[in-house]
Chain A
Amino acid sequence: MSVAVSISRVEKCFGALRALAGVSLQVAEGEFFGLLGPNGAGKTTLISCLAGLTRPDSGTLSVMGHDVRSDYRSARRQLGVVPQELVFDPFFSVRETLRIQSGYFGIRNNDDWIDEILANLDLTAKADVNMRRLSGGMKRRVLVAQALVHKPPVLVLDEPTAGVDVELRQGLWQFVRRLNQDGHTVILTTHYLEEAEALCGRIAMLKQGQVVALDTTRNLLARYSGQTLNLRLAGGAASLPDALRARATESDGTCAFHLAGLDELEPLLSALREGHCVIDDLRLTQADLEDVFLGVMQNSGSAHEAAR
Chain B
Amino acid sequence: MTSGFVTLLYKEVLRFWKVSFQTVGAPVLTALLYLMIFSHVLESHVQVNGVPYGAFLIPGLVIMSALQNAFANSSSSLIQSKVTGSVVFVLLPPISYVEFFLAYVVAAMLRGVMVGVGVLAVTIWFAPLTFVAPHWILLFIALGGAIMGTLGMIAGIWADKFDQLAGFQNFLIMPLTMLSGVFYSIHSLPEFWQVVSRFNPVFYMIDGFRFGFFGASDVAPEFSLAVVTASFVLASAATLALLRSGYKLRS
> If A72-B94, A76-B93, A91-B18 touch, does A103 touch B10 (CB 8 Å cutoff)?
yes
Considering only CB atoms, which chain B residue lies closest to A52 in the complex?
A: B250
Most buried by A among B18, B90, B91, B94: B94
Binds A, one of B1-9, B36-44, B112-120: B1-9
Q: Tell me the residues in window 1-27 of chain B with beta carbons closer than 8 Å to chain A beta carbons.
A: 2-4, 6-8, 10-11, 14-15, 18-19
A89 contacts B86, C-beta separation under 8 Å: yes
A90 contacts B84, C-beta separation under 8 Å: yes
Considering only CB atoms, which chain B residue lies closest to A54 in the complex?
A: B251
> If A91-B18, A100-B11 touch, does A53 touch B86 (CB 8 Å cutoff)?
no
Q: Tell me the residues in window 43-63 of chain B with beta carbons closer than 8 Å to chain A beta carbons.
A: none
List A contacts of B178 (CB < 8 A). Answer: none
Let me know if B89 is at the binding interface, CB within 8 A.
yes
Considering only CB atoms, which chain A residue lies closest to B16 in the complex?
A: A91
B94: contacting residue among A77, A83, A100, CB under 8 A: A77
> If A91-B15, A91-B18, A106-B2 touch, does A53 touch B250 (CB 8 Å cutoff)?
yes
Q: C-beta contact mask, A44-55 vs B, less than 8 Å → 1, else 0?
A: 000000011111
B94 contacts A108, C-beta separation under 8 Å: no
Let me know if A210 is at the binding interface, CB within 8 A.
no
Most buried by A among B4, B89, B96: B89
Q: C-beta contact mask, A79-110 vs B, less than 8 Å → 1, else 0?
A: 10101010111111000000011011110100
Let me know if A178 is at the binding interface, CB within 8 A.
no
Q: C-beta contact mask, A23-57 vs B, less than 8 Å → 1, else 0?
A: 00000000000000000000000000001111100
B251 contacts A76, C-beta separation under 8 Å: no
> If A72-B94, A106-B2 touch, does A88 touch B86 (CB 8 Å cutoff)?
yes
B85 contacts A87, C-beta separation under 8 Å: yes
Give the CA-CA distance A87 to B10 in the complex, in Å: 20
A146: contacting residue among B15, B89, B91, B246, CB under 8 A: B89
> If A55-B250, A91-B14, A91-B15 touch, does A104 touch B84 (CB 8 Å cutoff)?
no
Considering only CB atoms, which chain A residue lies closest to B245 in the complex?
A: A55
Give the CA-CA distance A278 to B2 in the complex, in Å: 73
Let me know if B195 is at the binding interface, CB within 8 A.
no
A106 contacts B84, C-beta separation under 8 Å: no
Most buried by A among B10, B18, B95: B95
Give the CA-CA distance A105 to B2 in the complex, in Å: 9
List A contacts of B91 (CB < 8 A). Answer: 51-53
Give the CA-CA distance A52 to B87 in the complex, in Å: 13
Q: Tell me the residues in window 77-99 of chain B with beta carbons closer than 8 Å to chain A beta carbons.
A: 81, 84-86, 88-96
List A contacts of B2 (CB < 8 A). Answer: 106
Give the CA-CA distance A259 to B228 in the complex, in Å: 77
Give the CA-CA distance A76 to B4 in the complex, in Å: 12
What total count of A-B pairs have CB within 8 Å? 78
B94 contacts A105, C-beta separation under 8 Å: yes
Q: How far is the CB of A195 from chain B (nearest CB, A)?
A: 24
Let me know if A247 is at the binding interface, CB within 8 A.
no
A89 contacts B81, C-beta separation under 8 Å: yes
Let me know if A73 is at the binding interface, CB within 8 A.
yes
Q: How far is the CB of A106 from chain B (nearest CB, A)?
A: 5
List B contacts of A100 (CB < 8 A). Answer: 7, 10-11, 89
B92 contacts A76, C-beta separation under 8 Å: yes
List A contacts of B85 (CB < 8 A). Answer: 83, 85, 87
Q: C-beta contact mask, B232-251 vs A, less than 8 Å → 1, else 0?
A: 00000000000000100011
Q: How far is the CB of B9 from chain A (nearest CB, A)?
A: 10
> If A81-B92, A87-B85 touch, does A106 touch B250 (CB 8 Å cutoff)?
no
Considering only CB atoms, which chain B residue lies closest to A150 in the complex?
A: B93
Give the CA-CA distance A186 to B10 in the complex, in Å: 32
A104: contacting residue among B8, B19, B81, B251, CB under 8 A: B8
List A contacts of B96 (CB < 8 A). Answer: 73
B250 contacts A104, C-beta separation under 8 Å: no
B92 contacts A103, C-beta separation under 8 Å: no
Considering only CB atoms, which chain B residue lies closest to A146 in the complex?
A: B89
List B contacts of A87 (CB < 8 A). Answer: 84-86, 88-89
B90: contacting residue among A74, A90, A104, A106, CB under 8 A: A104
List B contacts of A108 (CB < 8 A). Answer: 3
Give the CA-CA distance A108 to B7 in the complex, in Å: 10
Instruction: Beyond the given A55-B246, A105-B94, please list 18 additional residue pairs across the A-B interface where CB-CB is below 8 A.
Output: A14-B251, A55-B250, A76-B92, A81-B88, A83-B85, A87-B84, A87-B85, A87-B89, A88-B84, A89-B84, A89-B86, A92-B14, A100-B7, A100-B11, A104-B8, A105-B4, A108-B3, A146-B89
Closest 5 CB pairs of A and B: A103-B7, A104-B93, A87-B85, A73-B94, A76-B94
Pick 29 A–B contacts, CB within 8 A, sort by A: A14-B251, A51-B91, A52-B91, A52-B92, A52-B250, A53-B91, A53-B250, A54-B250, A76-B93, A77-B94, A81-B88, A83-B85, A87-B84, A88-B86, A89-B86, A89-B89, A90-B84, A91-B19, A92-B14, A100-B7, A101-B93, A103-B3, A103-B4, A103-B7, A103-B11, A104-B93, A104-B94, A105-B94, A106-B94
Name A residues whose Cβ lies closer than 8 Å to a Cβ of B.
14, 51-55, 72-74, 76-77, 79, 81, 83, 85, 87-92, 100-101, 103-106, 108, 146
